[in-house]
Each structure stands twice: as C-alpha cells, then as structure tokens.
Structure 1
Amino acid sequence: MSYSVVKHNIDMDTRKKISARYKRITKAVNLSFWNSISETAHSFYVGSYGRGTAIDTSDLDVLIELPEDEFDHFSSINGNGQSRLLQAVKNAILNTYPNTDIKGDGQVVVIKFSDGMKFEILPAFKNFSVWEWKDIYKYPDTHMGGNWMSTDPKAEQEAMKRKNTESNGLLYDTCQHIRYIRDTKFSSYHLSGILIDAFSYNAIQGWHYLREGEQKSNITESYEEVLLNYYKKISWNGLVTPTLKAPGSNIDIDGTKGWEILGKILNYMI
C-alpha cells in the first residue's frame, strides 16, 4: 500500500496570526535598531516558511537585518559579543511581548507563544559577495566562544521555487507530507526541515504532477518507491550519511541526526 503524497496547506486563520505576529516582531526590532516603526522593512521569512514547505506545526523563521555599525559594535566586544547581540534583540522584542517566553538560543532568538506557535528570529547583517556577485548574510553563532556564520536564504528559496514549478507543485507537497509524517508519527525524533527539503529537491528528479492534457507514463514504480530507492542509493542502503547541500546556496547540511529518521519515514510512506 502506498501513502499518496497529499497537500498540507496552512489554513488562512493561522496565516493571518503568523502575519500579525511577524509584523509586531519586526516593528519591535526596527524601532530598537533602526529607529523605525516599519512592520516589514529589513525582514523576511526564511526556513521552511520562506521556502514554501512549512505546515501548520512548523516553526516560523524570520531573518531581520541589522545596521552594519551594530556588527562592528558587537564584533568588538570581548567575551562573546554574539551572545550579547542575541540578548539585545531579545530585549527589543520583550518590549512588545513582555509576558511571552523569549530566549536566545545558539544563533536565534526563540519566541514561544502560549498557543504553541514558535518564532525563531535570526539577526543578520547584509554582506555583498564580490565573488558570487550577490548579497549574503552574516549571523551570530554563540557556541565555542562566539563567531560569525554565513547564509544565503534567498538563493535557497529561488531554487526551491523553480523546482516546484518544474514539478507542477509536487516538490512542495512532498516536503510538507514528509513533515506531516515526522510530526505525527516520529515526533520524538529530530529531523530538520532543510534536510527534508534538500533530499526531496534532489530525489524528485523529473517527477511531477500531470499537467493538463498529459498522459500518465507506464512506469510501474511508485513515486514513494522512487524516493526510498534514491535514499538507499546515496547512502549505501542507509549505512552511511551522505553529504547534502542546501538547494541554491550549496551550504553543507549536517544530516547525522536526522538521516536514519528520514529513512523510517520513507519506508512508512510505502
């Protein structure tokens, strides 16, 4: 029996709540760092919501760009300026949500609302790459005494969007369906959204939903079997964890914590 990939769209009421909170958070950080009351400037969705692969249980990841002089300021602080930066962003958001659970955690400020919705705010600085001729973002990492890391979320979003168009919507639905099974059947395990998306991006190959007037092929192998066979192929039947890169940005993904669980989910789908 095959569990067909189905849609898991976020309902409109939840989207409205996400949007309202996104705007309030953005305004709070803009007021503190940019002296601006804009609810949308300097920020955009990243993570699964930004890549179009989120479901209603997904965390909401938001990148908020800060002024360059703040990078200089926190870089010059002795003793983990990255941690101090997260605390400054946390305090800015507390001005708007004083009774909400907010804390700095590694690279992000985590906001846990009482209804279970969770936002992760990534403070970042725009940095133009001459070699790649595009903007990338530097963000703080508080581990190991503090350092700066780089990300290119817009390239990932564009790559996912292109592939989803090529697959006639199948890519997004695949990523969302795997998330749904993870959250309903394997919720005690860790499997990151970017690992799901990167795997699906590559495993989908030429598969797509039928377009108007298109005839079904004579292939006997199901789509779910194709996903599992690709998983086995690149991992020597699950014995090793392959090196995957994020679509578009080509940033290495650490799959050591989630690769085995991904295999269990793919087997469950079949």
Structure 2
Amino acid sequence: MSSKVIRYDNIISLETRQSIAKRYHRVTRAINQEFWNSTSETAHSLYVGSYGRNTAIDTSDIDILVEIPEDEYNRYSYVKGNGQSRLLQAVKNAIQNTYSRSDVRADGQVIKIAFSDGMKFEVLPAFPQENWSGSILYKYPDSNMGGNWKTTDPRSEQRAIQEKNNSSNGLLCATCRHIRMIRDTSYSSYHLSGILIDSFVYDAIGWWHFTHEDVDSSIQLKSYEQELLDHYNQISLNGLLSPTLAAPGSGTALDTSKDWNILGKILNKMA
C-alpha cells in the first residue's frame, strides 16, 4: 500500500452498503414501532460516527442514532436507580424483537448488535433538543458510574466534514480513510478513534486539495503528507504533549491523551 494519499472511492462495496441500509431500516422500524407508534423505516434516525461522516473504510462498527420521544426522557430521568440503564434495556428489547437470533446487548451508552457475517451496529438512543441557534443537539444516556446524561451534535460535525471535503475536492475524506487503512494494517492492536483522525485532518488540511485531472498541480515546497506531520509536531511539541483538539462543527473537546502517539507513527510512515 502506498504511503501517499490517493483517492479512495467506493471503499465499501455497493452490496455491503445495501446490506447496511437494510439493517438500518429494520432497526429504525423497530424503534419507531416501540416508541413512536409508527412503521417508518427512515424517520427518527440517522447514521453517525465514521460511516455518517463518510470516512469509514469497513463495517466493524456502524453507528446509528435513534430519536426517542421527550416524554421518555422524563420517565427515565426521574426513576429511582439507574434510569439510563433502564432506557438502554428498553431500546435493546425493542431491537431484539426484530433481531432475535443476533447478539444484542446494552453496553454503557449504546446497544450493540453483532451479526453473523461480522458486521456490527452500535445504536445510540437520544433525545433531540433545539439550541438557541436553532441547531438540533441530542441528549443521550450514559449508564456508567450510576448513570448520567450527555450531549452530542453529530449533524454539525457531518456538515463541517462534508463542506471541507467538497472544498478540497475529496482530499479530506480520502486522507481520513488512508490513515485508517494504515492504522488497520500496521497498528491494529492499538485504538485510534475515528473522530480523532477526522478532527486532526480537518484541523491540519488547510487549503490543500485534489486538483482536477486536467489541471497541473502547482509546485509545493513540501509534500502534503509532510505538511500533515509538521502540523502534528507543531501542535503537540513533536508528540510530547496531548494537544487541545475539537470535533469539527460541534466544537466538542476531544480526549487526545489516548494513542496520540499512534497517529504520529502513522503520519511519519506517510511522510
């Protein structure tokens, strides 16, 4: 595999994407039947995570957010004990009615579905909330440490990634996928999260972009891959410090203390 970033189109096959969509629709329908008195296969749900940001390279984890009515939040928020855990169990039971033969379990913040072909779904139940600017945020349960509620803003992250990818002629997503390929090939025993990869590339890419095939690339003083490595070294003192980094669009602060050095190893390999 080349260490230089190239275009990665259709990295997940059409057949696999169709299988993902079919399962996504079935999960969505199960949630809508249980909580919304609806048989819709598309309402109240969206792809999130790497697949939702269009930077995924495999189907090891397909992340889905499913909306739950606000009155369910009031119900589980004030129940004695860990209401977040009870909500997860209720969502798990709804999904298990559809996928009774699959391994379905509640785990911390999500319901995990392991299919026999190796594909895995992680389903995040969440309550939509409109903020002061009109954007939709989502409040979701965390059953760890006795239970609490957290907030996420995946739509803003997806919009930011899409806009930057469009302006870079596809270079942003291609870079994120390239880093994942090196991670999975050479550093598979380590965990380097997708949102950390995507957020770093978004922060580092600057004005770099793929040129069109009929346009000559201008001469650069350094390669794009070297520019990424230089940015990594600049914001973390050559990898000695864990820098402050936020998710694009949402501005959510990220934990860069875990395996930040693995990202550095990958960037050195690319440069």
What is the TM-score of this pair, normalised by structure 1? 0.96
Q: Which residue of 2 aligns with 1:69?
A: 71
Cα distance per residue 1:2-47 (max 9 Å; x no partner) = 6121316211011011001101111111111112111111001011
Unaligned runs of 5+ in 1: none
Mapping for residues 188-227 of structure 1, pairs under 5 Å: 188-211=189-212, 213-227=214-228
Q: Which residue of 2 aligns with 1:127?
A: 129
Mapping for residues 222-261 of structure 1, pairs under 5 Å: 222-261=223-262
Mapping for residues 16-165 of structure 1, pairs under 5 Å: 16-130=18-132, 132-165=133-166
- Asked if the contact 2:61–2:121 (Cα under 8 Å) also holds between the matched residues in 1, the reply is yes
Q: Distance in 2 between matches of 1:33 and 1:142?
A: 20
Q: Distance in 2 between matches of 1:57 and 1:21?
A: 12
- Asked if the contact 2:110–2:124 (Cα under 8 Å) also holds between the matched residues in 1, the reply is yes
Q: Displacement, 1:49?
A: 0.8
**Residue 49 and residue 116 in structure 1: after superposition, are their counterparts in 2 closer, same or farther (change >3 A)?**
same
Q: Displacement, 1:67?
A: 0.7
Query: How many residues are matched?
Result: 269
Q: Distance in 1 between matches of 2:165 and 2:115?
A: 31
Cα distance per residue 1:130-174 (max 9 Å; x no partner) = 2x3321110011112111111111000000000001100000000
Q: Displacement, 1:214?
A: 3.3
Secondary structure of the corresponding residue to residue 224 of structure 1? helix
Amino acid corresponding to residue 31 of structure 2 in structure 1: V
Secondary structure of the corresponding residue to residue 139 of structure 2? strand
Q: Displacement, 1:57?
A: 3.9
Secondary structure of the corresponding residue to residue 252 of structure 1? coil
- Asked if the contact 2:85–2:143 (Cα under 8 Å) also holds between the matched residues in 1, the reply is yes
**Residue 124 and residue 216 in structure 1: after superposition, are their counterparts in 2 closer, same or farther (change >3 A)?**
same
Secondary structure of the corresponding residue to residue 71 of structure 2? helix
Secondary structure of the corresponding residue to residue 220 of structure 2? coil
Identity percentage over the alignment? 60
What is the TM-score of this pair, normalised by structure 2? 0.96
Secondary structure of the corresponding residue to residue 123 of structure 2? strand
Q: Distance in 2 between matches of 1:95 and 1:167?
A: 44
Unaligned runs of 5+ in 2: none
Displaced runs of 4 or more, over 2 A: 211-215
Secondary structure of the corresponding residue to residue 140 of structure 1? strand
